[in-house]
Structure 1
């Protein structure tokens, strides 16, 4: 995993927590409306796993997730990247939204890398 400053780590964790909160709010709203929540629930679980893996790598916090959980989370997080990158490409240069999306993309990439690293360790 690449070497990051403490500020970059904090920013990535903050971004993940924000994304999780937004997903929880979306899930609540969808549940209230009776909409199908399967995809949002899976993404939310993947986001929580991504956060937990980063906290494990950077802070030594253990997590309860299985190898299968990690593998599924990696797939779901990687699937989120293209849509976020598309929105990022369309956002105004220098805008707060563009900055937020850059941080979100970086945090997802770091989580995917950490999931790859943890999967590699499991296989050796």
Structure 2
């Protein structure tokens, strides 16, 4: 985690904040429609924990998550990466979508690493 530039840190934090916003919107719409929201809630919590862990590592912000919360979040975040990589591969080279997906993958990988590093110490 030492070789991350300030630009990469900022992009990763913004990416996770954007992901949280998208998940909150999806949750709201699904709740209105009466759809099953279990998966979206699980992903939202995981991304919030991932963001909190990056802010903990980089900005020394406190977090209140248990080892169990961290373990569940780590698995959810790690599980999202392959599907996003799949979408990335299908996206057009040089497109804004591809840039956002690349940043999201990097942010999720860093969040997983932050959780792993925290769990070891």
Residue by residue over 1:12-66, the C-alpha shift from the partner in whole angstroms, topping out at 9 and shown as x without a partner, is 0000000000000000000000000011001000000000000000000001100
- Find the aligned partners of 1:85 and 1:68 in 2 and give their Cα distance: 27
TM-score (norm 1): 0.96
Q: How many residues align?
A: 121
- Find the aligned partners of 1:5 and 1:89 in 2 and give their Cα distance: 25
Root mean square deviation, CA, Å: 0.6
Q: Does 1:60 align with 2:75?
A: no
- Find the aligned partners of 1:72 and 1:99 in 2 and give their Cα distance: 28
* Aligned residue number for residue 43 of structure 2: 43
SS in 1 for 2:114: helix
Give structure 1 regions of 4+ aligned residues with deviation exceeding 4 angstroms: none
* Alpha-carbon offset, residue 4 of structure 1: 1.1
TM-score (norm 2): 0.98
Residue by residue over 1:58-107, the C-alpha shift from the partner in whole angstroms, topping out at 9 and shown as x without a partner, is 00000110010000000000010111000000000000000000000000
Structure 1 unaligned regions, length at least 5: none
